[in-house]
Amino acid sequence: MIYIKDNTITLEEAEKLKVFLSHPWRAWEGTAVTNIPHNHELALKIKSVVAHDKNFKEIEAAQIITYPTGISKPFHLDTARKTTTGASITFLNDNFKGGEAVVEGIEITPILGRTYYFDGNMYQHAVLNVIKGSRHTLGLWYNYG
C-alpha cells in the first residue's frame, strides 16, 4: 500500500517544527537529521490518518530530515530497525526545486502538508536531487505496538 494524503498539516503547524531545525543530532549523506518526540502533536496528527491500519499502530521514530541543494538519496529499503512496519513522510515546505520522492516508480511531488504512507521495508524508495533550496520533511516510522 502506498497512500498519499494532502493537507495533513498546515503551514502554521509546519512552522512550529522549525525550532527543531537548529539542533540536528547527526548528518548522513549530506542531510541533517533532528529527532523530535514520538508524541509530538503533529506526529500524532499525521499518524491518525492511518490509525485504522495495523502497520501504523505505534510511532517508533520521528525525525525532521533536511536535504540541502545538491543532495539526493538513492533507492533503498528501511532496514535500520527490524520492528518497523510502516513509514510516512510529510513535506514541511515546498519552496525548493527538485527533491521529489519516488516510491516503487511513483513520483510524489513535494507540496507542503502532503504526506505519503508506505511500507519502507517492502517498497524501494528514493529522493531525487534537490536543485535549489532545502527540502524539510517529517519522517515517522511505525510498528505494530
Q: How far apart are CA 143 and CA 134, in angstroms?
A: 29
d(CA 132, CA 5): 25
* The amino acid at 38: H
pLDDT at 25: 67
- pLDDT tens, position by position, 23-77: 766 666 788 888 899 999 999 999 999 989 999 999 999 999 999 999 999 999 9
Q: Is the pLDDT of residue 143 over 70?
A: yes
| Integer Rg of the chain from CA | 14
Cross-strand partners of 34: 64
Interatomic CA distance for residues 98 and 94, integer angstroms: 10
2-143 maps to which CATH number? 2.60.120.620
121-132 pLDDT per residue, tens: 999 999 999 999
Cell of 128: 531525487
Domain boundaries, the chain: 2-143
Distance of alpha carbon 86 from alpha carbon 46, whole angstroms: 13
77-113 tens-digit pLDDT: 998 888 999 999 999 999 999 999 999 999 999 999 9
